[in-house]
Amino acid sequence: MQTQQRGATIWFTGLSGAGKTTLCRAVEQKLRENGCRVEVLDGDLIRENLTTGLGFSKEDRNENVRRIGFLAQMLSRNGVIVLVAAISPYRSARDKVRQNIENFIEVYVNAPLKVCEERDVKGLYQKARSGKIPHFTGIDDPYEPPLNPEVECRTDKETLEESVAKVLSKIETTNISTVASYARL
């Protein structure tokens, strides 16, 4: 039985290696198990497939966020819960997306830079520190953390299950679903 639901966008933002995709996929799994219509927009996959011509200047990053936001808006207005996992480093770009989406939940996936570097299996931080990757968020480009996110997950201090529970609880209290109770997942 398909769960009756209103669309929404859950926007996971944070540094590379903070755990956005891992958390996003775990939330997706719980929502799907509960019969929800869910779509994941992963920043890395979007860059590979839809925004390949964009670079990493502030303007290009903001355009990337704008495009992801437009797609999320279209899906969410059609009853889909959209989970976005994207660094989206600039607060103003995230705020513009928020203005266009009726049910928007910002999740700050927060982990210290040192922890993100330790988790970096692709070696991106090391390449950025050696100058091989310019404009890398957190190294030579800024990351502007949300001032008032609906949810903050401290992935250096919480288990994945604890972070998932926080996100699901916020989804439930936002009344996105009219049938399911996510807190019991």
pLDDT in tens, the chain (185 residues): 444 678 999 999 999 999 999 999 999 999 999 889 999 999 888 888 888 788 888 999 999 999 999 999 999 999 999 999 999 999 999 999 999 998 999 999 999 999 999 999 889 999 999 999 998 999 999 999 999 999 999 999 999 999 999 999 999 888 665 434 444 44
Range of the domain at 41: 8-111+143-184
User: Is residue 3, in this structure, part of any structural domain at all?
Assistant: no
User: Is residue 116, in this structure, part of any structural domain at all?
Assistant: no
User: Is residue 118, in this structure, part of any structural domain at all?
Assistant: no
Q: What is the pLDDT of residue 175?
A: 62
Please name which of 140, 131, 138 lies closest in space to residue 116, comparing C-alpha atoms. Answer: 138
User: Is residue 117, in this structure, part of any structural domain at all?
Assistant: no
Question: For residue 24, is it left (φ>0), alpha (ψ between -120 and 50) or beta?
Answer: alpha
User: Is residue 51, in this structure, part of any structural domain at all?
Assistant: yes
Number of domains in the chain: 1
User: Is residue 148, in this structure, part of any structural domain at all?
Assistant: yes
Q: Give the length of the chain.
A: 185
Q: What is the pLDDT of residue 4?
A: 64
CATH of the domain at 171: 3.40.50.300
Q: Which of 16, 76, 88, 163 is catalytic?
A: 88
Residue 181 falls in the annotated catalytic set: no
User: Is residue 138, in this structure, part of any structural domain at all?
Assistant: no
CB burial class (10 A; 0-12, 13-18, 19+) of residue 1? exposed
User: Is residue 73, in this structure, part of any structural domain at all?
Assistant: yes
Global pTM value: 0.91
